[in-house]
Amino acid sequence: MSKGFRVAIVGATGAVGQELMAVLQERKFPVTDLKLLASARSHGKKLYFCDEELTVSQAKADSFRGVDIAFFAGGAVSKELVPEAVKRGAVAIDNSSAFRLDADVPLVVPEVNPEDVEKHKGVISNPNCSTIIFVVPLNPIHRIAGVKRAVVTTMQAVSGAGKEALDELLLQTRQTLAQERIEPQVFNYQIAFNLIPHIDVFGDNGYSREEMKLVNETRKILHDPEIQITATTVRVPVLRSHSESVNIETEKALTVEEAREVLSNAPGIVVQDDPENLEYPMPLFTSGRDEVFVGRIRKDFSQEQGLNIWIAADQLRKGAATNAVQIAELLISRNLV
């Protein structure tokens, strides 16, 4: 990656945008010019990248002139501005749900389906955070034993809903301890000392849109529409990093030892599985990390070819910013930008 690239970040002042800046700097991404873009209310704000003060500009169609790679941190603006970025010659890596299920748009997790970047026509979608965290360990098991069915329950940190949600948890925690009145603003109910089994809007089938993202995006990433997946997504009073409890039924028999070995050798995974010494993944200790942590690997004794695993990973990093930067690195390594 010796050549330098002109990069734009749309949504630079938000949680994912800030992580994108940090990851680009940490991974020494070859940026020769960085444009920080956001909504009109953030125009003129100052941010630092590699000790250089940069000014945030309002994101407009002509903001992408001369840009090689445009990261979109998520939000409704993607529908309008991603096509404008592509029209001006940039490759757009989009963290919103706008294009994820479009047949012509690759949906990429570099540890799982890196070859799909070859098919891009200017846009590559970053999957939903809970999907990324789910498919990284599911893929090696699927390759060796064939996943027939998976049941996943997510426990999603409040920061996945943005800075306002994070602030609300901290405020409500203080209010609860002080026995003060709580009036939820971001969530429908109090989140402090509570769980809310509801993320995004509900559909006619009784599942939320967040739950259906796990189903549909996983099938697309793995190129297997036959995998049976069911999901329940839960918002929990955790600041950062999502956790997932996953039950897997495989086509071929797979022992716990075989599963542990294949997961230990898979890219992007850290196996932390020593119950006797109380070692297992937890969101507190995976925050700020780029790997997906897997533990509690055990036989599901209720079915012949069943397996249970527990997953935890930082949804702002691997679940969003890091995955997006890894996609950009793939494009560069394959001379696709």
Inter-residue contact 144 to 254 (CB < 8 Å): yes
129 assigned to active site: yes
Among 43, 50, 120, 242, the active-site one is: 242
242 assigned to active site: yes
| Best CA proximity match to 75, nearest among 24, 107, 34, 39 | 39
Distance, in Å, from the CA atom of 215 to the CA atom of 171, rounded to the nearest integer, reads 34
Distance, in Å, from the CA atom of 332 to the CA atom of 44, rounded to the nearest integer, reads 31
Distance, in Å, from the CA atom of 323 to the CA atom of 329, rounded to the nearest integer, reads 10
Among 129, 142, 198, 223, the active-site one is: 129
Other CB atoms within 10 A of residue 20 CB: 31
| Best CA proximity match to 223, nearest among 113, 132, 123 | 113
Inter-residue contact 15 to 43 (CB < 8 Å): no
Between the alpha carbon of residue 304 and those of residues 76, 251, 255, the distances in Å are: 45, 10, 11
Q: Which residues are known to be catalytic?
A: 129, 242
